[in-house]
C-alpha cells in the first residue's frame, strides 16, 4: 500500500466548562475519528493527549490521507458534529476550539528493516512534533540523512517531514513528526529540550523558533 501523501493535524481544547474532559476524549476516540475516516480517503487516524505542560491544546488527532477532499466545506459538513456521549445538544465547534492544519508529506526516514515505517505509526506509543522554518525541502532531507536523525532517539521507528499547505499557518515551515516506541515520561521537559537541541545542532537551526511537543497515544484506527 503506498504511503499516504498528506497528514492532517487537529489540535483541540475544551472551552465550555460544563463538558466533561473524559467524555470529550472518549467521544473523539470512539465516534469522531471513525466518522472522519468514513468521510474521505483516510487510511488511519490517531488520537493523542498532550504531555507538554506548556501546550495550548490538550488533545491531538492526526489523519494519514491520500487526499484532502474530505475537508472541503461540503464534505466536512456531512461529518457528525454532535453525539449524546458529549452530554450536550451543542456541536463540537460550540464546546471546543480546534487547530486544523493540513500538511503535504515531503519525505519519510525509517529504520532499516522496518518495511511499513510511518504507515504503522499508530502502533507507536508516543509522538513528538516539532515545527520550524526551512526554505529548502531537499536540503533538509539531505541533512536529515547525513546526520542520521533517527539516531537521536534509539527507540524511534520513523521520522516524517511535512510542509504546511497554507502559507498563513502558525507553523513556520516544515514539521518533523517523530514516533517513539517506549519512553520514560517522568521528565517531559527534558525530552523536549533534548530533541530541540539535537535538531538545532544537527540541522544547523540554532536561533530558530523550534516548537517541540510531546504526545501520548490513546487510540488508533486503521483501514
CATH number of 108-222: 3.30.70.100
How high is the pLDDT of residue 117? Answer: 45
How high is the pLDDT of residue 201? Answer: 87
User: Which CATH fold topology does 6-101 show?
Assistant: Alpha-Beta Plaits (3.30.70)
Ranges of residues in the chain with a pLDDT under 50 are 1, 115-122, 170
How high is the pLDDT of residue 35? Answer: 94
Give tens-digit pLDDT for 29-49: 999 999 999 887 898 999 999
| Domain limits, CATH 3.30.70.100, in the chain | 6-101, 108-222
Q: Give 36: exposed, middle or buried? Use CB within 10 Å, 0-12, 13-18, 19+.
A: buried
How high is the pLDDT of residue 3? Answer: 60
Give tens-digit pLDDT for 147-162: 888 887 777 788 888 8
Nearest in space to 52 (alpha carbons), one of 218, 217, 215: 215
How high is the pLDDT of residue 149? Answer: 83
Amino acid at each position: 500500500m503506498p504511503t499516504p501523501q498528506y497528514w492532517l493535524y487537529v489540535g483541540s481544547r475544551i472551552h465550555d466548562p460544563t463538558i466533561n474532559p473524559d467524555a470529550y476524549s472518549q467521544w473523539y476516540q470512539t465516534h469522531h475519528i471513525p466518522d472522519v475516516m468514513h468521510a474521505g480517503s483516510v487510511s488511519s487516524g490517531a488520537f493523542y493527549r498532550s504531555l507538554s505542560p506548556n501546550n495550548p491544546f490538550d488533545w491531538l488527532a492526526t489523519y494519514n490521507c491520500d487526499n484532502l477532499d474530505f475537508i472541503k466545506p461540503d464534505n466536512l459538513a456531512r461529518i457528525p458534529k454532535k453525539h449524546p456521549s458529549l452530554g450536550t445538544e451543542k456541536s463540537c465547534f460550540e464546546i471546543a476550539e480546534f487547530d486544523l492544519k493540513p500538511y503535504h508529506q515531503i519525505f519519510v526516514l525509517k529504520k532499516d528493516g522496518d518495511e511499513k515505517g510511518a504507515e504503522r505509526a499508530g502502533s507507536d506509543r508516543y509522538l513528538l512534533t516539532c515545527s520550524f522554518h526551512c526554505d529548502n525541502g531537499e536540503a533538509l532531507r539531505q541533512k536529515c540523512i547525513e546526520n542520521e536523525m533517527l539516531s537521536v532517539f534509539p527507540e524511534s521507528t520513523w521520522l516524517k517531514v511535512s510542509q504546511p499547505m497554507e502559507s498563513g499557518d502558525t507553523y513556520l515551515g516544515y514539521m518533523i513528526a517523530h514516533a517513539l516506541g517506549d519512553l520514560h515520561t517522568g521528565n517531559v521537559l527534558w525530552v523536549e529540550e533534548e530533541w530541540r537541541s539535537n535538531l538545532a545542532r544537527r540541522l544547523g537551526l540554532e536561533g530558530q523558533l523550534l516548537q517541540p511537543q510531546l504526545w501520548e497515544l490513546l487510540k488508533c484506527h486503521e483501514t
